[in-house]
A and B are shown apart, each in its own frame.
Chain A
């Protein structure tokens, strides 16, 4: 399984870390990383299993990013990231983002992060390539554009 793993220590209680991550995502999400046409205003994770994970743009439009797979505050959050390599919402694609919060003290929390099933991007990209006949050129171009920020 292809995955990205990160671990960090946050100087805050686990409850706050979970809340800021899941319920105040718009406060910290890098603004330029979004898919709507109008500038990003907020990112919303609906606080329940099967809740939507979506962005709200300044013009009021919304774009789905995925959904909530596990909602277990203040310990564990699992989100389905359903954006394909072209950053379009694809309900047929599920890559998982899991975030675990472990209290190390009253104001110290260990955060374990994993974004897994990345190999599924391969199949999604291959499907795109067949459907659109455009292949990696456009995909890499969109990476180049976003990665340049």
Chain B
């Protein structure tokens, strides 16, 4: 669990870069090779490769070999990110609820 949540924090950090986010969004629409991404975005092939490497390390994309090229696609585990987000949210919310309840005097 600790691993999964730090992994998704990494995911958020990876998406903080606007170009990287565009690469990621492009993949969310269609699985693509490095060349296909570079052809549709104003980003060089080496830069695309570098962004993909970061996204892959963050667990946001995966790649498979298709003949002589590699095709990248979004790793659809965003549901885990949602769970982790809600888990942190409810921790904060319930702590605030407890404080608000205890602060009140008996009525």
| Most chain B CB within a 10 A radius of its CB, from A4, A111, A133 | A4
Q: Return chain A residues, CB-CB under 8 Å to B86.
A: 4, 115, 118
Task: Please choose the segment from B35-43, B45-53, B64-72, B88-96 that sits at the chain A interface, where 4 or more of its residues have CB less than 8 A away.
Answer: B88-96
| Most chain B CB within a 10 A radius of its CB, from A17, A20, A136, A138 | A136
Q: Does A69 make an interface contact (CB < 8 A)?
A: no
A interface bracket (residues with beta carbon within 8 Å of B):
35 or more
Judge whether B106 and A16 touch: CB under 8 Å: yes
Contact of B102 among A2, A10, A126 (CB under 8 A): A10
Closest A residue to B98 by CB, please name it: A10
Chain B interface, DSSP helix/strand/loop, else mixed: helix
Judge whether B15 and A118 touch: CB under 8 Å: no
Q: Return chain A residues, CB-CB under 8 Å to B85.
A: 143, 146-147
Closest B residue to A135 by CB, please name it: B28
Contact of B83 among A4, A20, A33, A141 (CB under 8 A): A4
> In the docked arrangement, what's the CA distance between A33 and B90, Å?
11
Q: Does A59 make an interface contact (CB < 8 A)?
A: no
Q: Return chain B residues, CB-CB under 8 Å to A125.
A: 78-79, 82
Judge whether B79 and A121 touch: CB under 8 Å: yes
Judge whether A147 and B88 touch: CB under 8 Å: yes
Which residues of B come within 8 Å of A, CB atoms?
A: 11-12, 15-16, 21, 24-25, 28-29, 60, 74, 76, 78-79, 81-83, 85-94, 96-102, 104, 106-107
